[in-house]
Structure 1
Amino acid sequence: MDIEYSFNKRPTTDQIIELYDNAGLPRPTNDKERMEQMFENSNLIITAWDNELLVGVSRSITDWVWACYLSDLAVRGDYKKMGIGRKLISLTKEKVGNQSMVLLLSVPTAIEYYPKVGFKKQESSFIIEREQ
């Protein structure tokens, strides 16, 4: 299977919603406008495709020289454990360069995954939760 990775090929909002639901990523997929805004306001999006099927996405917000917040990493259920998530993370780090850190907040089901792909668990984060 030949997976195509792209910085330029943008999925439709419907494709994104379908992928996130399939991957079990808890996002507001019932709010199409909010999902559109999430992608429109992100400045580093990498997609993974199996022909015309969207099989993975990483969505980040970065300043390119200090910090990159990898806000979404989703891989279609049937494509997990094929290295797609690892490749999306690697391409994200490659694109932001050596001066920038990559950080994320993990969903509970992925906490065991991230140390396996090079992330170091931090105890120094704080959050003000969203209200909706």
Structure 2
Amino acid sequence: MNNIEIKENIIPSKDLVYELYSNVGWIAYTCDMDKLMKAIENSLRVITAWDQDKLVALLRIVGDGYSIIYIQDILILEDYQRMGLGSKMLCLILEDYSDVRQIILATDDTHKTKRFYESNGFRQAKDYNCISYMKFNM
């Protein structure tokens, strides 16, 4: 991971974004690349990781940055997973928004994702005596 450079608020090209989202299987997002690019461009913050000119990770948040942030996307190319990169990028967000009361995300219900987020200090909503609701327009 020594060669990886983390950059702030750099919007990668559409081709690089497509490659990253496809690599991790997030193809529901890639069916409308213009919409995905607008979503990334309008994020509160975008953090990317690069191995020279290769986009290897992207984290983006939405929200007001004062009372709530929502970690919308955190993607890492498969070959770069389990190297601490996701935790490092997440740590930047958690440090910079440490005074924000609610930091929220939704993720797949897998052992891998639960282990990752719990190891980074996240807890399930039920642990705060809360319940979450969502609605998907498919």
TM score, norm. by length of structure 2: 0.85
Q: Give 5+ residue unaligned stretches, structure 2.
A: none
1:129 to 109, 122, 135: 135
Identity of aligned residues (%): 30
Cα root mean square deviation, aligned: 1.7
* Cα deviation digits, residues 15-68 of structure 1 (max 9, x gap): 112101112235421211121121122111100111111011101013122111
**Rounded Cα–Cα distance in structure 1 between residues aligned with 2:28 and 2:96:** 25
SS of equivalent residue, structure 1 residue 28: helix
The residue correspondences of 1:25-44 to structure 2 (distance < 5 A) are: 25=26, 27-44=28-45
AA in 2 matched with 1:14: D
Structure 1 residue 9, shift from structure 2 partner: 2.4
* Larger helix share, 1 or 2: 2
**Rounded Cα–Cα distance in structure 2 between residues aligned with 1:57 and 1:30:** 18
SS of equivalent residue, structure 2 residue 50: strand
Aligned residues: 132
Q: Give 5+ residue unaligned stretches, structure 1.
A: none
Alpha carbons of 1:127 and 1:99: their partners in 2 closer, same or farther (altered >3 Å)? Answer: closer
Alpha carbons of 1:128 and 1:117: their partners in 2 closer, same or farther (altered >3 Å)? Answer: closer
TM score, norm. by length of structure 1: 0.89
SS of equivalent residue, structure 2 residue 48: strand
